[in-house]
Amino acid sequence: MLEANKRAILNRLKTVRGHLEAVITMVEEERYCADTMKQISALQASLEKANRVLLQNHLETCVIRAVQEGRASEIVDELMETMKYTPAVTGPLPDTKEEA
């Protein structure tokens, strides 16, 4: 894994971990449902962004290596199988204005 991608993923996941604890507290305290739902959506968006970085890393490292080794068909099949379980990757792009 590329070091920059690893750092980005770990930072995002650590943020998600803290945010998840806050959402759990919101549920325990029976906070307003709409507010809790918004926070859960924010968590999902953060996980989707982490997944996109993982996808980029996979394409830039593992996929390129597999193609160079003559395993293009195998790696494409693997990638298609993986994408079945990642609707954020195959769905619409999230708003990236905050990252600009």
The pLDDT tens digits for 67-99 are: 999 999 999 999 888 888 876 665 554 554 544
User: Is-contact 26 39, C-beta < 8 A?
Assistant: yes
Range of the domain at 45: 3-90
Model pLDDT for residues 37-71, shown as the tens digit of each residue: 999 999 999 999 999 999 999 999 999 999 999 99
Task: Provide the token pair at 43.
Answer: 């968590």
CATH of the domain at 74: 1.20.58.1000
What is the number of structural domains in the chain?
Answer: 1
Q: How confident is the model at residue 100 (pLDDT cuts 50, 70, 90)?
A: very low
Distance CA 47, CA 16 (A): 7
pTM, 2 dp: 0.75
